[in-house]
Chains A and B, each alone.
Chain A
Amino acid sequence: MNDLKDMDAFHLDVLREISNIGAGNAATALSTLLQKKVDMKVSRVIPMQFNEITEYVGGAENIVATVFSRIDGDISGNMLFVIGEDNAKGLVDDLTGKTGDGQLSDLALSVLQEIGNILAGSYLTALADFTGFELQTNVPSLAIDMAGAMLSFGLMEIGRSGDWAIMIDAEIHTEEETGTDDIAADTEKNKGENMDKGGKGKSGHIFLLPDPESFEKIFIALGVHRYGSN
């Protein structure tokens, strides 16, 4: 594979399956934590340019909560749990059983970080089991700010070698209630199909952004590196 943007449909499907397995495990973990049904959508795997990624999350200035984990080991990359501000507050309320006053307290922030921690951990456990990789992560870090400011940090490593990244996006959502919207719902910049609008419950996204060298390693581990056009 010379360039990430030239990855063929078969290999994109393999990545989608990995994401489904990882996110499935993460959704189960969140469901146990919340004592609520948590669903996931079929993951999306899309090669895109940097600027398209910020559009994908509703524009560079869209305010989101992001829990960021750096993955190291047999493969490396970044994992981001991204959730809109209102959804984040709702999720914390669900977990603590309280209705917040609209502000995210220090306690709420650590709850949110812990949710991100659990999601990333369970996603990566599934990924490691499936591929046989040894994987470690640092302690995740939480920030609530403009999406562009946080995602561009996630793209830094990929940026060294090219202008394209493969966005592996898993969406999970809690059911019930007259939910607030998806992270991108309040922006018109959003092109519609990228992010689901409306829906019920709270939804967040788990983005996996492997470093460029890691794709080949994933495909070798799964025995599919020679499959398809290459």
Chain B
Amino acid sequence: MAVIKVGIADSNICKAPDSITTLGLGSCVGLTLYDESNKVAGMVHVMLPSSEVARKGDFKKAKFADTGVPELVDMLIKAGANRSRLKAKMAGGAQMFSFEGKMDTLSIGARNVEACKAELMKLRIPLIAEDTGGNYGRTIELFSQTGILEIRAVSKPAKQI
């Protein structure tokens, strides 16, 4: 069983029996999509809500919620997933530092979470579980055999959703 790693502003997919993970999510959101029938899973590590802020034409799609989520859907379909069976889970979107909320009406973490939800709604993909917000970092791992998303944080017991 291999563990596929996803970096910041990156995405990837895996098939059973492998798992897919991203480490140290703070205000970023780790969004996963899973097709239970084909046991194909994908993960994107979203850093910012909208690609409108991208100052260059050429950017990594996985960095933004509005481009990263559709790209992940395409990757999964190419890998044999059934689009109508995709179900989403996500974690992250924390506020790591106390002043963050003052810089904007909503902290970037909360905005990332909202943008991911809006994108899922647009793509008509159900969000079946989430572990978002708070003020702590998270490492997440999705097991493609079961679709279970495990969340690990410093000095907190591991959690499965």
Query: Which A residues form the contact surface with B (CB < 8 A)?
Result: 50-51, 54, 59-61, 63, 68, 70, 138-139, 141-150, 152-153, 155-156, 159-163, 212
Looking across the interface, which residue of chain A has its beta carbon closest to that of B138?
A: A149
Instruction: Please indicate the chain B residues that have their CB under 8 angstroms from the CB of A159 in the complex.
Output: 9, 47-48, 63
Chain A nearest CB from B46 CB (Å) reads 11
Q: B8, B59, B100: which contacts A50 (Cβ < 8 A)?
A: B8
**Is B99 touching A143 in the complex (CB atoms < 8 A)?**
no
List residues of chain A with CB within 8 A of the CB of B63.
159, 163
Q: Mark B79-99, 1 if CB is under 8 A from A, else 0.
A: 000000000000000101111
Name the residue on B nearest A156 (C-beta).
Answer: B108
Contact with A along B94-113 (1 / 0, CB 8 A): 10111110110000100000
Closest 10 CB pairs of A and B: A148-B24, A149-B137, A149-B26, A60-B24, A141-B97, A146-B137, A60-B23, A161-B55, A146-B24, A51-B7
Given contacts A60-B24, A138-B99, A143-B97, contact A148 B48 (CB under 8 A): no
List which B123-142 residues lie within 8 A (CB) of chain A: 135-139
User: Are A61 and B26 in touch, CB under 8 angstroms?
Assistant: no
Contacts of B58-79 to chain A: CB distance below 8 A: 59-60, 63
Contacts A145-B137, A145-B154, A150-B96; is A61 near B9 (CB within 8 Å)?
no
Q: How far is the CA of A163 from the CA of B23 in the complex (A)?
A: 18
Inter-subunit contact A61/B139 (CB<8 Å)? yes
Task: State whether A148 and B54 are in contact (beta carbons under 8 Å apart), knowing that A139-B99, A143-B97, A156-B48 are contacts in the complex.
Answer: no
A160-B103 CB under 8 A given contacts A54-B8, A54-B24: no
Residues of B within 8 A of A144 (CB): 154
Chain B residue numbers with a CB within 8 Å of A50 are 7-9
A142, B137: Cα distance in complex, Å:
14
8 Å CB contact of A156 from B7, B47, B55, B135: B47
- The answer to whether A163 and B154 touch across the interface, beta carbons within 8 angstroms, is no
Give the interface SS of chain B, mostly helix, strand, loop or mixed: loop
CB of A149 within 8 A of CB of B96, answer yes
Query: Would A148 and B8 be within 8 Å (CB), given that A143-B96, A143-B97, A156-B27 are in contact?
Result: yes
Q: State which size class the interface on B falls in.
A: 20 to 34
With contacts A70-B99, A70-B103, A159-B47 taken as known, whether A148 is within 8 angstroms of B26 at the C-beta atoms is: yes
Residues of chain A contacted by B139 (CB below 8 angstroms): 60-61, 146
Q: Measured between alpha carbons, how far is A156 from B104 in the docked complex, in Å?
A: 13
With A141-B98, A143-B96 known as contacts, the answer to whether A152 contacts B7 (CB < 8 A) is: no
B40 interface contact, C-beta 8 A: no
Q: Is B25 an interface residue (CB 8 A)?
A: yes
Are B23 and A61 in touch, CB under 8 angstroms? yes
Query: CA A160 – CA B63 in complex, angstroms?
Result: 9
* B31 at the binding interface (Cβ < 8 Å): no
- Residues of B near A138 (CB, < 8 A) are 99, 102
Contacts of B138 in A (CB 8 A): 149
Report the minimal beta-carbon distance from B138 to chain A, rounded to whole angstroms.
Answer: 7
User: Which B residue sits closest to A69, measured CB to CB?
Assistant: B99
Complex CA–CA separation, A102 to B97 (angstroms): 23
Asked if B154 contacts A148 (CB within 8 A), the reply is no
Report which residue of A54, A139, A163 has the largest number of chain B beta carbons within 10 angstroms of its beta carbon: A163
- The answer on a CB contact under 8 Å between A160 and B23 is no
